[in-house]
Amino acid sequence: FSGSAADALQMIPAEQVKSVEVITSPTAKYDGEGDAGIVNIITKKKIIDGYKGTISGSFGTRVNRQSLNLMLGKGRFGMSAKGGVNYSWPRIGATDYERKDWDDTGNTNTLLRNGETYSQWIGYRGGIDMFYDLNAFQSINSSLSFGGRDKFNDDSTQINYTGIDTSYNYKSILNSKSVTNQVEWSSDFTKKFSNNKDREFSMALQISGEFEDEETKINEN
């Protein structure tokens, strides 16, 4: 439950806590998971029995966020699932530009540029964490997480130029979109020894990847 330690702690009944120790200089046994230190909670029984779910959300003028978390523990098995999304409202913009130049004789060159833009983005994340204690000395942990971000932008610009010697006009349309996704899966097996509580054997496997796709189309008439 490393993704939500506070929720995991609330699932442990107070009467099950045997002792709490603060380790300010953790050894290699803890795999460097703590920056300032580690709080080690030792329970009387290595059992979590219960469930907890939370839903949260917020809306704003620029960013909106919603999330869901679910945790379940029963005996030697525990699982947590989480998911969330954050996104912007559709954004619409307009640009009007005018420039005039005069020469010594009073002739005028005029440039008009009118543009419109439409854009939006959405980000998402989720994951599942599970553990199973085979017995008092052997355990298996596995987690799958994923996330990504999609965004698009549509721009159009109309150019009109009226000059002394030449005149022209054209319209430029630009459509762009990008997709970024990340996924990671990790599993580990841990074995402890009854004759030496500081001795531990572990094996870990981690696979991760990132996928990106960007596309831009420009059309000028």
Q: What is the mean pLDDT of residues 62-80?
A: 88
Rounded to two decimals, the pTM is 0.62
Q: What is the mean pLDDT of residues 77-90?
A: 91
Least confident of 35-39, 63-67, 143-147, 176-180: 35-39
Q: Which residues pair with 172 in a beta bridge?
A: 157, 220
Tell me: pLDDT of 27 over 90.
no
Give the model's confidence band at 36: pLDDT under 50 very low, under 70 low, under 90 confident, else very high. low
Cα–Cα dist 212/151, whole Å: 12
What percentage of the chain carries pLDDT values higher than 90? 53
Whether 93 contacts 50, CB under 8 Å = no
Cβ neighbours, 10 Å, residue 219: 10
pLDDT at site 11? 66
Cα–Cα dist 42/9, whole Å: 12
Tokens for 188, please give them: 């580990």
pLDDT at site 35? 62
Tokens for 219, please give them: 């059309």
